[in-house]
Amino acid sequence: MQITFPQLLLKHAQARPQAPAMREKEYGIWQALSWGDLLTMVTQLAAGLQAAGMQRGDHMVVLGANRPRLYATMLAAQSLGGVPIPLYQDAAAPECVFPINNADVRFAFAEDQEQVDKLLEIREQCPQLAHMYFDDPRGLRHYSETGLQSLDALLSVGQDVLAKQPQLIADEIAKAQPDDVAAMFFTSGTTGNPKGVVHTHRSLLDRAQAGATFDKLTASEEVLAYMPPAWIGQNIFSYAQWLACGYVVNCPESTATVTIDLKEVGPTYYFAPPRVFEGLLTSVMIRMEDASSLKRRVFQHFMNVAERVGPALMDGSSVGLLDRLSYALGDLVVYGPLRNNLGFSRVRVAYTAGEAIGPDLFKFYRSIGVNLKQLYGSTETAVFVCLQPDHEARADTVGVPCEGVEIKVADNGEILVKSPGLLKEYFKNPQATAEVLTPDGWYHTSDAGFIDSHGHLKIIDRVKDVGRIMGGPNDGAMFAPKYVENKLKFFPYIKEVVAFGDKREKVCVMINIDFDAVGNWAERRNLPYAGYTDLAQKPEVYSLIQECVEKVNADLAADALLAGSQVSRFLILHKELDADDGELTRTNKVRRGFIGDKYGPLVQGLYGGATEQFIETQVKFEDGRTGSVSATLKIMDTRTFEPVKAAA
């Protein structure tokens, strides 16, 4: 695609200036922003930024939730040849220091007082940060720091500049080339400092268009933008594809209203990681358990029909007349109202990615008529590497290579990718760039997997995480921690898992329960509890989780490759793993090595045969204060099963 983001904005604004580009919910009312008004805002912001000294190649960090003005500011920077760098809005202030200094950032957009306070807290460590612009003025009236200015003031400056030079920004937009740098995204930094992934207009828009072509996306789509803009998945779906297709992006009022806003918007194109789909299903099941016995029986009857018939209908397979009629009645009574309640009544295409999704969860959504599919990609590949065709969606694969992508599997099982969407480089890190990009253009994904007989890619784990059991009856067996963790997380009662076993004689895991799901389960059994720590250590809860672990062990026993990865012992952690405590990345990926070091006594207890282990942990509260939480955790053994021998 021989075009840039601001040039696409110009194209939409000229072709249909009055059509809605974005909607934002403010005070319970949806407000629309047209393509023409968006262009005016972007042009004024760009003129203001140029007056403030922004030059081609300058970097601008963006801190905030999805908002029209945040998107407009990114477009304004790109209009001048600047490079927006979205950072996670829930990141603690110290986490912003490295990206800002690594990228020599002079400009910053901060959504509100919380984000401004973050920047001011680290300003002494980032002396080059000269210009900070805020959107929401609440609480900032008496701030008088040098270089801090409202976005309204910047717009006013831009208006004055354009009154004298009306063609100024149009001329700047015309100078841009597709191979200019468009944006930078910092990786989550699971093993060290994050790396700045540099993408061009060409790489991002090529993949955005490839995904749009694959699923026949048009300007009539409705999208809800609710994930962090710093995550490239959100950026592709709600920014790159938005500009490539010209559809409408809807911004929820807050994270607390996303579920309500989802129902009101009724998106036609939807994306969420598995944990969001898990959360939605958990809330449905909790409500059904509290329903009358008649409603529960009706629900269960038609869900049995859906499980038997729904996936076949979704895949375009032949279904008997009686089954088709039963499903149609179920759609009227259960599936349709359920889709409407979830906000999926108009969804034409729904995607999930980032982690494996449980087969039961995947089947549930497809059985009730939601076209849920999986994709495979990463920050470095501009997301779209593999996609699932409509009638070939399976829970155990991530689809087929999409347009322009080549895939090969190295001798060690690592997946290599060649694609027009590959990163240009890691910023200021040629060594890391050379480690992942070969001279002939192949990208090392660090994922282990294979292409199955149907041409679909199947992911096993990260190459570096695939290990071996050493000692004991399973000596030499393959250990794939993420595979084990994901199978356990398929249960609604389990929120997070950390598996250990590489170079050890057996597999042991630490588990976070899902507080809402287990809490509801406990309340229905009149089991009192005084918070997460108390609930997690209840003997009844341990028995519940033990059942889940042993079901996974039985499944693993049937897998010749991974039968040795069955879980021998487990414990339930006394606190939820938290990104603020360094245990998760900002994209909610487990930092297994960090957790192993931090909870060393628990690891020793698991492998030392202890039945309980005391642990005291420092935690960080939302207001920045630190404290500690301690508990004596039970450690439980689980049944393992003999590997199932294949039939002769």
Angstrom CA distances, 268 to 82, 216, 229, stand at 32, 12, 20
The neighbour count for residue 126, using CB atoms within 10 Å, is: 20
Which superfamily does 467-637 belong to?
ANL, C-terminal domain (3.30.300.30)
Three-state secondary structure readout of 392-453? CCCCCCCCEECCCCEEEECCCCEEEEECCCCCCEECCCHHHHHHHECCCCCEEEEEEEEECC
In the chain, which residues fall in CATH 3.40.50.12780?
5-201+231-251, 274-462
Structure tokens at 369: 């008529």
CA gap 619, 626 in Å, rounded: 6
For domain 274-462, the CATH class is alpha beta
Angstrom CA distances, 46 to 77, 79, 130, stand at 6, 7, 17
What is the DSSP secondary-structure string of 115-163? HHHHHHHTGGG-TT--EEEES--TT-TT---TTEEEHHHHHHHHHHHHH
Contacts of 440 (CB under 8 A, 6+ apart): none
Structure confidence at residue 647 (pLDDT): 44
CA gap 606, 612 in Å, rounded: 9
Structure confidence at residue 2 (pLDDT): 67
Q: What is the pTM of this model?
A: 0.84
- How does DSSP classify residue 112? S
**β-bridge pairing 567-572 and 612-620:** unpaired
Instruction: Divide the 648 residues of the chain into consecutive groups of 10 and give the mean pLDDT of each group.
Output: 89 97 93 98 98 97 96 98 96 94 97 96 96 96 94 97 96 96 87 88 97 96 95 94 98 91 95 87 82 90 93 90 94 94 95 82 93 95 96 90 95 93 97 96 93 88 87 86 88 93 95 94 93 95 97 89 91 93 84 92 95 90 78 95 69
Residue 27 phi, psi (nearest 5) = 55, 40
- Of 1, 55, 3, the closest CA to residue 176 belongs to 3
In the chain, which residues fall in CATH 3.30.300.30?
467-637
- Of 135, 120, 162, 165, the closest CA to residue 62 belongs to 135
3-state SS class at 543: helix
- Of 582, 571, 577, the closest CA to residue 542 belongs to 571
Structure tokens at 629: 């939480």
Structure confidence at residue 471 (pLDDT): 86
400, 389 in Cβ contact below 8 A?
yes
Angstrom CA distances, 538 to 427, 534, 543, stand at 49, 7, 9
- Of 267, 220, 248, the closest CA to residue 370 belongs to 267
274, 358 in Cβ contact below 8 A?
yes
* 5-201+231-251: CATH number: 3.40.50.12780
What is the DSSP secondary-structure string of 52-104? TT--TT-EEEEESSS-HHHHHHHHHHHHTT-EEEEE-TTS-HHHHHHHHHHTT
Angstrom CA distances, 172 to 105, 219, 252, stand at 21, 27, 32
